[in-house]
Chains A and B, each alone.
Chain A
Amino acid sequence: MAARAVEAQGIVKRFGSTVALDGVDLAVEEGTVTGLLGPNGAGKTTMVRVLATLLRPEEGTASVLGRDVVSQASDVRELIALTGQFAAIDELLTGRENLRMFGQLFRLDRREAARRADELLERFDLADAADRQARTYSGGMRRRLDLASSLLTRPRVLFLDEPTTGLDPRSRNQIWDITRELVREGTTLLLTTQYLEEADQLTDRIAVIDHGRLIAEGTGDELKDSVGGQMIFVRLANPWDRERAIEGLTRLGCGKPEPSELEREVTLPAPEDGIAMIERAAHALREAEIGVSDLGLRRPTLDDVFLTLTGAPATTDGAAPETGEIPATEPETAEARS
């Protein structure tokens, strides 16, 4: 049997008295995209740094394509590339110089490194800024240059640590497009994210990590199924009807409502599927004279999964909003600066 792209067993890593990883198992098949999903401080970055040979685990073993990350670290480094949470580029060098330098350090000869650099600058929409120092780049441009630096040689396994954190939607979409392209070319990807939407969009399998432990693993659908059934969703005409609506629906056998930031909305697990449930819900709400502007059934989202698994919504650290949409925190002002 071919070696897995990534295989980790019982990885433990402590920093002082903090246990960052508490016995994590992980398996990634070649040619797939796996998302490591978890809130801030869950241990995602530590796990990636262990797999990328930057940290030695205290316990457990991990291998990349069959090479041990501790005893065969230099072999592993030939196969992987890492794009970290903070762009790992040289600020005082230009974009082109960065890529040429990394290319040469990836064992390309001078001419080949220059050729690849030009190719990637073009592909990542950085050609116009190629001869400016990287410190003048916007957040999105830095991230693209960083990702380009990982692709000078074709890594077989690429680790992306929160590739879109802090990016505006346009830059995020660019990164997603590049990521999808890489997958089509056959690169195995392990990406960490705190955004449920990102995991849903990009990955084949998702490993949910919290407090240094793996708490669930499967495809997005499997995880959604693990929450079970369907959800009933009501948007109220008047927010003050919320309590009464929940009461009425609970009487029909619905589960505990999810905490929602929108007081006009109620979402609860539904006991049965289909039209009958909608019918009874509509009836119950009309009986109680509760105004409804929207009513429907939907499959559980990864948000629901996260809530069920961790007992807290993904928003506890304020990082990801309830809807799973990524906030635009860093507009690309610098792009206009050129």
Chain B
Amino acid sequence: MVAQLGWTLRDGYIVAGRNMRHFMRQPQLLLFSTIQPIMFVLLFSYVFGGAIGGSLPEGVSYKDFLLPGILIQSTAFRATQTAIGLSEDMKRGVIDRFRSMPMARSAVLAGRTLADLTRTIFVIALMVGVGYAIGFRFEEGPFEAIASILVVAAFGFALSWIFAYVGLIAKGPEAAQSAGFVAIFPLVFASSIFVPVDTMPSWLQSIADVSPVTATADAARALAIGGDVWDPLWQVFAWVGGILLVFVPLCVRKYRRLQ
């Protein structure tokens, strides 16, 4: 059992290494996926900052409010890449070889989601850097700052597994991409990522209040700039745990039975 887990992790690590090489060898992809989050930080801060700033609690600047949220927006959008990447892999013959080899069944999936997690952490670090350049500051201390980033990354990792499933069932990368965006847009915007939930109409508030995105944004924000941490944090744990419990076995099962 332990040996089995060891092999799974090793195989996952090898496949993740392969996927990281893929990122590095597609310079255009690398460039645009780096520029995009930076652009979002700057655009949202300066375009919406003035309008939304007024509805924030006393003493909170929009940059401070926004940054933890936009980390989640960027992470959630990037999670759709898991579907696209996996779907592209399915088209390639190399998956047939993986499947005929004595490697762990979940390694191709774990390798993909782990590589995407690594990329997410890299992009988060980059966005935090840009945030610091325009005046954002973590105010609660270094451990809280790291915890804040880890909360976002963990949520992104869980989302990756949902999108891994989308990638396995979608007919081709294009279908995977559109399915991903249809799911992720409402989820991201109907949440506390960009604006406080109490500015929304009440029906939307009731949706946003139970959204895992809101829980993640609230937890990451509380760890970054202060506020109630534990209430949203346990919700994030529950969501991440629940999603992984459901989707990891679902994905592995689907992968085994590919035609």
Interface, chain A (partner B; CB < 8 A): 15, 52-56, 74, 77-78, 80-82, 84, 86-93, 97, 101-102, 104-107, 133, 149
Considering the complex, give the chain B residue whose CB is closest to the CB of A83. B97
The reply to whether A90 and B94 contact each other, CB–CB distance below 8 Å, is yes
Q: B14 within 8 Å of A by Cβ? A: yes
Instruction: Give 4 nearest A-B pairs by CB, closest first.
Output: A88-B93, A88-B97, A77-B102, A82-B100
The reply to whether A92 and B98 contact each other, CB–CB distance below 8 Å, is no
The reply to whether B94 and A104 contact each other, CB–CB distance below 8 Å, is no
The reply to whether A54 and B99 contact each other, CB–CB distance below 8 Å, is yes
- Partner pick for A92 among B14, B21, B99, B103, CB 8 A cutoff: B21
CA distance A90 to B14 in the complex (A): 13
- Give the chain B neighbours of A15 by CB distance below 8 A: 259
Interface, chain B (partner A; CB < 8 A): 7, 10-11, 14-15, 17-18, 21-22, 25-26, 92-103, 107, 257, 259
The reply to whether B100 and A52 contact each other, CB–CB distance below 8 Å, is yes
- Give the chain B neighbours of A80 by CB distance below 8 A: 100
- Give the chain A neighbours of B93 by CB distance below 8 A: 84, 86-89
The reply to whether A102 and B100 contact each other, CB–CB distance below 8 Å, is no
CA distance A86 to B93 in the complex (A): 6
The reply to whether B259 and A93 contact each other, CB–CB distance below 8 Å, is no
Contacts known (A15-B259, A87-B93, A92-B21); A105 close to B11, Cβ less than 8 A: yes
The reply to whether B102 and A88 contact each other, CB–CB distance below 8 Å, is no
- Partner pick for A107 among B92, B96, B102, B259, CB 8 A cutoff: B102
CA distance A97 to B17 in the complex (A): 11
The reply to whether B96 and A84 contact each other, CB–CB distance below 8 Å, is yes
Q: Report A292 CB to chain B, min CB distance, Å.
A: 51
- Give the chain A neighbours of B102 by CB distance below 8 A: 74, 77-78, 106-107
Q: Report A135 CB to chain B, min CB distance, Å.
A: 10
- Give the chain B neighbours of A81 by CB distance below 8 A: 100
CA distance A15 to B21 in the complex (A): 36
The reply to whether A104 and B100 contact each other, CB–CB distance below 8 Å, is no
- Give the chain B neighbours of A92 by CB distance below 8 A: 21-22, 25-26
Given contacts A89-B97, A90-B94, A149-B97, 5 further A-B contacts (CB under 8 A): A15-B259, A52-B100, A81-B100, A92-B26, A104-B14
The interface centre, meaning the residue of B11, B95, B103 with most chain A CB atoms within 10 A of its CB, is: B103
Q: Report A243 CB to chain B, min CB distance, Å.
A: 49
- Give the chain B neighbours of A77 by CB distance below 8 A: 100-102
Q: Report A286 CB to chain B, min CB distance, Å.
A: 58
- Give the chain A neighbours of B17 by CB distance below 8 A: 101
Q: Which secondary structure dominates chain B's binding surface?
A: helix
- Give the chain A neighbours of B95 by CB distance below 8 A: 88
CA distance A88 to B102 in the complex (A): 16
Q: Report B26 CB to chain A, min CB distance, Å.
A: 7
CA distance A93 to B102 in the complex (A): 21
Contacts known (A90-B18, A105-B11, A107-B102); A82 close to B96, Cβ less than 8 A: yes
The reply to whether B101 and A97 contact each other, CB–CB distance below 8 Å, is no
- Give the chain A neighbours of B94 by CB distance below 8 A: 88-90
Q: Report A66 CB to chain B, min CB distance, Å.
A: 17
The reply to whether A53 and B18 contact each other, CB–CB distance below 8 Å, is no
Q: Report A54 CB to chain B, min CB distance, Å.
A: 6
The reply to whether A56 and B257 contact each other, CB–CB distance below 8 Å, is yes
CA distance A91 to B89 in the complex (A): 11
The reply to whether A54 and B21 contact each other, CB–CB distance below 8 Å, is no
The reply to whether A54 and B101 contact each other, CB–CB distance below 8 Å, is no
The reply to whether B100 and A54 contact each other, CB–CB distance below 8 Å, is yes
- Give the chain A neighbours of B97 by CB distance below 8 A: 82, 84, 88-89, 102, 149
28 contacts between A and B (CB under 8 A): A52-B100, A53-B99, A53-B100, A54-B96, A55-B259, A56-B257, A74-B102, A77-B101, A81-B100, A82-B96, A82-B100, A84-B93, A86-B93, A88-B92, A90-B18, A90-B92, A92-B25, A92-B26, A93-B18, A93-B21, A97-B18, A101-B17, A101-B18, A102-B97, A102-B101, A104-B10, A105-B14, A107-B102
Q: Report B4 CB to chain A, min CB distance, Å.
A: 10
The reply to whether A105 and B96 contact each other, CB–CB distance below 8 Å, is no
CA distance A107 to B101 in the complex (A): 10
CA distance A86 to B91 in the complex (A): 11
CA distance A55 to B97 in the complex (A): 13
- Give the chain B neighbours of A86 by CB distance below 8 A: 93
CA distance A285 to B40 in the complex (A): 88
CA distance A214 to B125 in the complex (A): 61
Considering the complex, give the chain A residue whose CB is closest to the CB of B259. A55
Contacts known (A82-B96, A84-B96, A92-B26); A105 close to B101, Cβ less than 8 A: yes
The interface centre, meaning the residue of B95, B96, B101, B259 with most chain A CB atoms within 10 A of its CB, is: B101
- Give the chain A neighbours of B22 by CB distance below 8 A: 92
